[in-house]
Structure 1
């Protein structure tokens, strides 16, 4: 294997981190909801790395009364097929005016050589059970995850669902605690600005995006040396949110994760929403 391929594999070894960010970047209730949760949201996103098309992310969430279920699937192929990564995320729990409360979460991903999975169970206080495959001993250099680290946290799927309680002024004013089964981290959002959406097919929804800066803050489960000179720029992640007032939610429209070898970007291709009153909303680029 030549040096360029080896370097590419090392760079794409961070794909699990990127996928976790994709699944978790918009979270945190700001105020009680005034509009009922939509019945269903289906979204398809295009993934690019340094300008090259590398994959897709499909997301579906369903709401029924006071419960939710959701699934996300990421498919990445890079280096002319030499690297392939497929990840599936599922989550379920309760939902009310204050936001989602997770009960169960599972993530599995596979490359050409291995299969990995994470299963989490929750109680009202936080994470109750953790099952990892393979169940390897913690690296002695990693910061140990403590019981306190697991209190009042979101998994990546429940984090995604919590977008809808944001208001225009509060959408980017959040610090979000997340545990993905191995790493405990915060996402600190701050307001950057607004952008105008260009639509080929008018949706009838506001055409303004709220752009948030996102800082990834490692708390536990990581090796400190991995953040000394990381190839991912964890301080300058961005997410652009689009308000959908008639469905009572914000949707992630674009996520950008910069790195030393170019940005990883997730951009919405299409989003279909069935509101609580069964009105259908279609967003197309």
Structure 2
């Protein structure tokens, strides 16, 4: 039986929302300053679980784990989504590895694999020096003739979706929301432009000893290349009003997000932290819970 027009539009819009959630998930940990990013105070492990909701209904979960050893990092994210009464199902795994150099973050390799019903898609990106050296896509379809062509300069000084989480290594508390993160996901090149919106107090059911305040950033999703311009004409998603609420964890020297909100004409997609566990450089255990 053919889907109704409303059902088809709903699923198409939700696919777009999932894509943007995946694009913003990399902001799972941002270093407080340059010294903590490459020095001995960087946490040895960050592990978090987030609840995903859409239009007020729980639709999935996102698990994130990152390990830091010396100058190396390795991160894994896993997402499972089921929405529209089971009509839409999506599961994805994201992995990234690289090094933390005195000059900044150096991504090495990124892999993404996701499944929607019976369709399996994968992306693998390799980096050399300051740019992308290889891209492998499955299925390997040619770009749409409607898409903005990727140029060599679009693949320089960019971060994969996992490397983006620690890309802004010179950030300081005063400008936590004042940055632009250039990202290439294997198909599209885009910027995530953060700006300060405000501060928000929070309460804790289990006191952590960390500041009970969120710094709320606006995030503007700016397509650069690899996208179809028509997808950004009267889109379902408000790409100018994405928000991420960060929480400073001074004992670990990082920010972690408590909430990511992506508005759309058919409801908000929201990622909310349930638990965040951090092993600091001195092996101190820090647990954040809603």
Give the TM bin, normalised by the shorter chain.
over 0.9
Partner of 1:17: 19
Structure 1 distance, partners of 2:183, 2:79, is 19
Contact 2:219 2:240 survives alignment (8 Å): yes
Structure 2 distance, partners of 1:193, 1:14, is 27
Superposed displacement of residue 28, structure 1: 7.3
Partner of 1:242: 247
Partner of 2:235: 230
Structure 2 distance, partners of 1:87, 1:165, is 30
**Residues 94 and 158 (structure 1), Cα distance of their counterparts in 2 relative to 1, 3 Å cut:** same
Partner deviation per Cα, 1:170-217 (whole Å, 9 max, x = no partner) = 101101110000000011111001011211110111111111011111
Q: SS of the residue aligned with 1:13?
A: helix
Superposed displacement of residue 96, structure 1: 3.9
**Residues 252 and 63 (structure 1), Cα distance of their counterparts in 2 relative to 1, 3 Å cut:** same
Contact 1:94 1:103 survives alignment (8 Å): yes
Partner of 1:108: 113
Superposed displacement of residue 31, structure 1: 4.4
- TM-score of the superposed pair, with normalisation by structure 1: 0.95
Superposed displacement of residue 98, structure 1: 5.4
Q: Confirm whether residue 213 of structure 1 aligns to residue 211 of structure 2.
A: no
Partner of 1:95: 100
Partner deviation per Cα, 1:39-68 (whole Å, 9 max, x = no partner) = 100000000111111101100000111101
Question: Could you list the runs of 5+ residues in structure 2 that have no partner in the other structure?
Answer: none
Structure 2 distance, partners of 1:106, 1:82, is 27
**Residues 251 and 27 (structure 1), Cα distance of their counterparts in 2 relative to 1, 3 Å cut:** closer
Q: Across the two proteins, how many residue pairs are aligned to each other?
A: 285
Q: CA RMSD in A?
A: 1.7
Partner deviation per Cα, 1:6-27 (whole Å, 9 max, x = no partner) = 2221112214422332323468
Partner of 2:6: 4
Q: SS of the residue aligned with 2:95?
A: strand
Once structures 1 and 2 are overlaid, which stretch shifts more, 246-255 or 92-101?
92-101
Q: SS of the residue aligned with 1:14?
A: helix
Question: Could you list the runs of 5+ residues in structure 1 that have no partner in the other structure?
Answer: none
Q: How does 1:53-132 map to 2 (within 5 A)?
A: 53-96=58-101, 99-132=104-137
Partner deviation per Cα, 1:248-280 (whole Å, 9 max, x = no partner) = 110011100101111100000000000010000
